[in-house]
Structure 1
């Protein structure tokens, strides 16, 4: 059994992540966009379509238009990259990422308002999307940020599980503790359950690591599994838990353009050229963030595609 590791300053870094947003403006060095500090004054709006939510472009109120993109900056990065050599401090939030949170928040609010009188649970959700579009880094990180800001008395603990590692965020003590093996993680779950603590789990499925059905959790906890469309990642858990599926769409062209504006915010004269380069890569592999912003990964992806076509 591994020894728990206390991560100093990581709770504050995530909880106090700084906001910026990118908006459309006339001109803007030819890009038509600019970066502004803080949260946008006019957020996106959504409407119910069947059993899910979709962005409602027709509901824009008078005044400033919604942003193209929002950015959260955590100085110590986000759990998704805490095991990596290169940390990524920026979490990119487009309307799809916000939509995922809006759905999760809806079930949380509903549960905490009436759960004492019903068997309603805070929600089991399954976020499915193409590999490399930002499900883990962006949607997973944003869910964590929002859950940490949720009412501490109602939801005092959030667990972020990625691969064989788990990060326990305790709001009352403002601490993060890292657990590194299955036995330790199971003991954390058991301890929280015996104490009667409400918790929410974000489970990021990683190739070659434990699947979500292999962990013991209670149905009275909320849980969201973030995964690629590969059914082996989630089919057993889905059959057992019957979660609500959330299909996460790929970023739009303007989302990626806004990311380029953000990345070159201190070099405005470089924005247009950088965007042309990234847009060219998108034409080759699609809006897959993992590849278009990394030249080596992009070239590797192109080569892999060529090999597949030859064979």
Structure 2
């Protein structure tokens, strides 16, 4: 188990320190301007205070000798002021109430002391504004609630925002391994211990599936049960207003609120790289996302006219994906969504009509259900039990083990599929239809990601080899009408250094020669509002 003396330093934490250190070096070592005021934003419960805050304090206390005089740390209305050793004088720390500590910091600044402030802001706890934020370095640690740092932003010129991601699955596994290190030491020669460890880790993966990847709620039984129960309670109480509220939060149209509902259901993620960082919001876990889609589908079934995806389609890829995959589950909307797909040309004359055109026509004529059901495979590289892949089941990938696609389904024995060369008599003719929902004008991939996808599918489905034997393959890219459209095939490249690897070359050839590509615009003429309407 974790002891109080154990220290966990994540990659995300080191990243923040590297940015802060670069700014410190420019200010203190190279005399290049004033220090930058930083604001670090991240989801609650992922280690901003005791992860980032503690590591920054440690690093600042060990920064270049004689360059920094004081480090101030605000935690829970208490200001701790650390005086670094200098000129033979030992270092010391003093503790003040928040306002008294702010006054002390101002006095130190006025007498020429150089310092750095770590300000951990909590709900209903305002930041001190009478501090030397222009002459001292500073970083504010906050949840995404802008009320926490709005006044700070107004009193500081151009603060730089940083965003911290939730734990990665590999970090969660490393955390678990450290907790169980004593058992791991004996597992090699003890089958019972090894089996117990594997079962225990599988249980932890299930918890991540339910509540997201945060050690606080995964590795603590009591907190896990409470978070899971809270999530189920909030989702069960969802109505049309709360669904719209969270879709707006995911789309960035509404601000995050510091309440239990947001904490249970929403996760902040960093988007892209570079000097200016951006962030977005997404459902906190696979299960939360799945239940939101189910709730959405139920509500649209009762009154499709209430729903307007055009409000979200170009602002959040995550929301757009939810809407498109929800629309595919209803016959009338699926017919509109799957008709008129455009071929992404590859420069060769051999192009064929997508199987979904015939599939969509059959839906319209027979008014049949789009899919038998919807399933959400999770952690497919190590499923608890391999299942059989079935035709006309919409599989939605809700895991990092499903790169390249957002979902897929298998079409079997539709007219127009017969008569292809090289097929065995009596073998059902199948097409595997891969789905990718994107806002981007390009969505290229790499062979390592394609190989990981195929590995996951083989592990998940016991009959994958049989069902894909002699199958055709299609990829459909869904894009909102207001974005730049794809017009040519999306590439699958071999990573540098792997050009001679046989597996990568095979994956490249498969993508290049076997996968037909298509694009579909979700535009006003086939808007989901009208598509979902019963009179369609």
Confirm or deny a common fold (TM above 0.5): yes
The Cα of 1:150 is off from its aligned counterpart by 0.3
Rounded Cα–Cα distance in structure 1 between residues aligned with 2:151 and 2:78:
21
The counterpart of 2:206, out of the listed 277, 280, 295, is: 280
- 1:186-228, Cα deviation, whole Å (9 max, x unpaired): 232123113211110001112232x225342241100000111
Q: Which residue of 2 aligns with 1:32?
A: none
Matched, 1:170 2:83: yes
Q: Indicate conservation of the 8 Å contact 2:79/2:101, yes or no.
A: yes
Matched, 1:187 2:113: no
Q: Indicate conservation of the 8 Å contact 1:91/1:141, yes or no.
A: no
Using the size of structure 2 for normalisation, the TM-score is 0.39
The Cα of 1:246 is off from its aligned counterpart by 0.7
Matched, 1:219 2:134: yes
Q: Which residue of 2 aligns with 1:289?
A: 215
Any gaps of 5 or more consecutive residues in structure 2? 188-192, 238-536
Question: What pairs with 1:213-252 in structure 2 (closer than 5 Å)?
Answer: 213-241=128-156, 242-252=158-168
Q: Greater CA deviation, 247-256 or 270-279?
A: 270-279
Q: Structure 1's 123 and 100: CA in aligned 2 closer, same or farther, altered over 3 A? A: same
Q: Which residue of 2 aligns with 1:264?
A: 180
The Cα of 1:182 is off from its aligned counterpart by 3.0
Using the size of structure 1 for normalisation, the TM-score is 0.66
Rounded Cα–Cα distance in structure 2 between residues aligned with 1:121 and 1:98:
23
Larger RCO: 1 or 2 (CA < 8 Å, sep 6+): 1
Q: Greater CA deviation, 271-280 or 195-204?
A: 271-280
Q: Structure 1's 275 and 105: CA in aligned 2 closer, same or farther, altered over 3 A? A: same
Q: Which residue of 2 aligns with 1:93?
A: 9
SS at match of 2:223: helix
Q: Which residue of 2 aligns with 1:130?
A: 43
Aligned length: 221
The counterpart of 1:139, out of the listed 44, 47, 52, is: 52
The Cα of 1:238 is off from its aligned counterpart by 1.7
Q: Indicate conservation of the 8 Å contact 1:91/1:142, yes or no.
A: no
SS at match of 2:8: strand
Q: Structure 1's 279 and 92: CA in aligned 2 closer, same or farther, altered over 3 A? A: same
What is the CA RMSD across the aligned residues, in angstroms?
2.0
Rounded Cα–Cα distance in structure 1 between residues aligned with 2:28 and 2:55:
21
- 1:102-158, Cα deviation, whole Å (9 max, x unpaired): 11011111112332xx6x222211111111111111111111111111013111211
Matched, 1:151 2:77: no
The Cα of 1:304 is off from its aligned counterpart by 1.1
SS at match of 2:176: helix
